[in-house]
Amino acid sequence: MSVRINPSILSADFVNLQADLERIATADLVHVDVMDNHFVPNLTFGTQMVGRIQDVSPIPLDVHLMISDADRWAPGYAELGAYSVTFHAEAATDPVALARRLRSIGARAGIAVKPGTSIEPYLELLPEFDQVLVMTVEPGFGGQSFMPETMPKLRALAAEVARTGLDVWLQVDGGISADTIGIAAEAGANTFVAGSAVYGGSDPAANIALLRAAAEASTHGH
């Protein structure tokens, strides 16, 4: 079974972003963390910057919106051509209407939940989404420790995906490394975001290959 490795450019060098995008060309998608200093305490960039990343990236964009009022702002990221747009359940007034809007523009629609947010209310809405992101750290910063207590949510999602036969990707984000990726893969994740584990050290392509091999080894049998 194939897995997807999505490096997070939150750990890249923002002044040499084009070069750092080229260094992850063997990955599946580039994970772009949009933060508004409101939904999360940190601040990154908005549509203008993401549009330029879209222009120069060798691989498609997986946009993770950690912003308030997602209903208002998320469609703009789909309109600039992002392959995937994921908003937080906690930040959307009408997640189903927003997902439909994103899909109508041509993006894959994703919904994310923070570690403290239950997945139960969203299980019956799975047909409306292409991806569910289970945050494995509190959103806002790279380099935090993986929270294994989030794994029951992945197991519940994986069971629902298996039951329904839907093609919904299950993504994890936060503290994913060669040591933890197997835990998430075993619980049912198939799409893995990694920032420090990819850009740490001198060889992102080797780190991507290592993460991919570790995830595939633990996915065996799913």
Report the interface residues with ligand DX5, using CB under 6 A.
8, 10-11, 31, 33, 64, 137, 139-144, 173-176, 193-197
- Of ligand DX5, Zn ion, none, which one does residue 144 interact with (CB within 5 to 8 Å by kind)? ligand DX5
**Which tokens go with 148?**
């294994």
Residue count, binding to Zn ion (CB under 5 A): 3
- Choice between 122 and 199, CB closer to ligand DX5: 199
12 vs 195: CA distance, rounded Å: 8
**Which tokens go with 15?**
């002044």
- Specify whether the CB–CB gap between 3 and 192 falls below 8 A: yes
- Of ligand DX5, Zn ion, none, which one does residue 86 interact with (CB within 5 to 8 Å by kind)? none
User: What is the dihedral angle through the alpha carbons of 114, 138, 35, 158, rounded to the nearest 10 degrees?
Assistant: -40
- Of ligand DX5, Zn ion, none, which one does residue 174 interact with (CB within 5 to 8 Å by kind)? ligand DX5
Q: What is the CA 183 to chain-centroid distance, rounded?
A: 17
Q: Is 55 a catalytic residue?
A: no
Which listed residue (20, 28, 33, 36) is catalytic? 33
How are strands ordered across the β-sheet holding 169-173? 4-7, 191-194, 169-173, 131-135, 108-113, 84-88, 61-66, 30-35
Collapsed DSSP state (helix, strand, coil) of residue 196: helix
> Least Å distance between CB 64 and ligand DX5?
5
Which listed residue (28, 36, 130, 173) is catalytic? 173
129 vs 99: CA distance, rounded Å: 7
Q: Is 71 a catalytic residue?
A: no
**Which tokens go with 19?**
């070069």
Residue with the CB atom nearest Zn ion in the bound state: 64
Residues 149-188 close enough to bind Zn ion by CB under 5 A: 173
- Of ligand DX5, Zn ion, none, which one does residue 175 interact with (CB within 5 to 8 Å by kind)? ligand DX5
Collapsed DSSP state (helix, strand, coil) of residue 97: helix
- Choice between 160 and 211, CB closer to ligand DX5: 211
- Binding of Zn ion by 62 (CB under 5 A): no
Question: Which residues in this chain contact Zn ion in the complex, by CB under 5 A?
Answer: 33, 64, 173
Q: Which residues are catalytic?
A: 33, 173
